[in-house]
Amino acid sequence: MRGKRVVITGIGTINPLGNNIPEFFRNLDEGKSGASLIDRFDTSLFKTHFACQVQNFDTRNFPAIDIKEARKTDLFTQFAIVAADEALKDSKIDLEEIDLKRAGVVIGSGVGGLCSLESEMKDYSEGQVPRFSPFLITRFISNIASGQIAIKYGFRGPNFGVTSACATSAHAITRACVEIQSGRVDVMITGGSEAPICALGIGGFNASRAISVRNDEYLTASRPFDKTRDGFVMGEGAAALIMEEYEHAVRRGAHIYAEIAGSGMTCDAYHITAPRPDGEGAADAMMYALKDAGLTTSDVDYINVHGTSTVLGDLAELNAIKTLFGDDAFKVNISSTKSMTGHLLGAAGAVEALACIHAIESGIVPPTINFKEEDENIDYRLNLTLNERQERKIDVAMSNNFGFGGQNACLVFKKIN
C-alpha cells in the first residue's frame, strides 16, 4: 500500500559531463563524450588507458569541503558532499525552519573508498613498519558519505549507505522514498557517489573483461547498441536529490521537479555478472515499478536504460522492454546516457535519475551517442535516440539500473500536473 507522495525539490551533481547541474544538462543535451585518457596513475601496463573522469576537480573551488578535513576523506565522499550541497541550495530549504530529526540521508556507493584502500596497502607493502592512517577506515567504508553529509547539515533522521553494485543509488533512492512514504520523515538527501578510477578499479574490471579496451578510439568507446561495443567505460562522480513529502514541499512553496511515482526491485538469481538473456528479471522490475506508480506501459514516454555498452547487457535489456511493453516499445524513446558519462557504478542510478528529471522539465530526450554499426541481434525499429537528441513532451520517465549479483532496480518519475 502506497503512503505519502514523494517529490524532488533539489538536485546536484559532479560527474564527467559537468561539475554542477547547468554544465551537466548542457553537455547532456549536446551529446558530449566525457571520456579522456587517465591521468591519475600510469596505465601503460593496463589493457585500458581511459575512463570518464571528473574534470578540474580542486577542493579549494568547492566551499562545501573543508580544506583541513579533505585529507580525512576519500574522493567519493568529497564528490557526495559537493553534490549534496548543490542540491540543498537548489531546494532552498531553510535548515532552521525544518525538523532536523525528521530529515535523513541515504547515499549509496558500490565500492566506497577503493582508491584510499589501494593507496594505504601500497604504502604498507613498501614500508618496513606497519603504519596506517588513523583515517583509513573512515575514508573507505561506503556508508561514510551519508554520515559526513548528516554531520555537515545536522540531519538527525535515518542515515545509512546502500551497496548493490550498479543498482546501488537506484536502491538508495527507493529506500529514501520509503522513509518518506511511511511518514517517519519529511525530507531526505539521497543519491550515490563513486570514485573508482585507480589501478585496483581499472585492473579489477580489466580482469573480469567488463570494460572497453578500445584505447585508439576512447572518445567513442562507450557505444551502447552498436555491433562493435566491447564493454563499459569506467566513470566517477556523484548525484544528489532532495526528496520531500509532497504537502511539506507545497507548504514551503518549493519548486517541484517531478514526483517519484514508483519503484521496482528484483533479482535475476542467474549469474554473478551476466544478465538473464531473456531479460525476465529486468522486465519484472519495470512491471513492478509501473504497478507501484499506477501506470501502464502506454503512459511511459522515455526510458533511460542501463545500457552499459556490453554485448550481453544491452541485448537483454532491450529484450526485456519488448517483452513487457509489447507494441508500446516502439512508441517510447529509449536512450543510454552512459554513452556520454560512462558507467558511474554505484552512482549511475542517481545521475540517470537527474537525466530523467531534466527530460521531463525540458522536453529533450538525451541521445545515445557513438552509434556507428548495426547489430543483427538488435531491433532498430525501437527508437534508441541514436546520435542526436530528440524533442517530445515527457510526462513519465523510467530509469533502469542492474548490478552484478543480478540485482535489478527501476524508478518511475512523473511530471506534477
Kindly list the catalytic residues: 166, 306, 343
Write the CA distances from 336 to 4, 105, 384, integer angstroms: 31, 28, 8
Cβ atoms 201, 52 nearer than 8 A: no
Quote the CA–CA distance of 304 and 366 in Å, as a whole number: 9
How many CB atoms lie under 10 A from the CB of residue 39?
9
State phi, psi for 55 to the nearest 5 degrees: -100, 145
CA nearest neighbour of 16 among 172, 149, 194:
194
Exposed e or buried b for every residue in 113-150, given b needs 16+ CB within 10 A?
A: bbbbbbbbeeeeeeeeeeeeeebbebbbbbbbbbbbbb
For residue 21 the three cell numbers come to 547541474
For residue 213 the three cell numbers come to 579496451
DSSP-assigned beta bridge partners for residue 164: 166
SS3 55: coil
State phi, psi for 267 to the nearest 5 degrees: -135, 140
State phi, psi for 170 to the nearest 5 degrees: -65, -40
CA nearest neighbour of 35 among 219, 217, 308:
219
Quote the CA–CA distance of 7 and 184 in Å, as a whole number: 15
Query: Where are the alpha helices (H) located in 142-294, listed in sequence order?
Result: 144-153, 168-181, 199-207, 246-251, 280-293
Exposed e or buried b for every residue in 322-340, given b needs 16+ CB within 10 A?
A: bbbbeeebeebbbbbbbbb
β strands within 340-387, DSSP E: 364-365
State phi, psi for 143 to the nearest 5 degrees: -85, -5
Cβ atoms 353, 402 nearer than 8 A: no
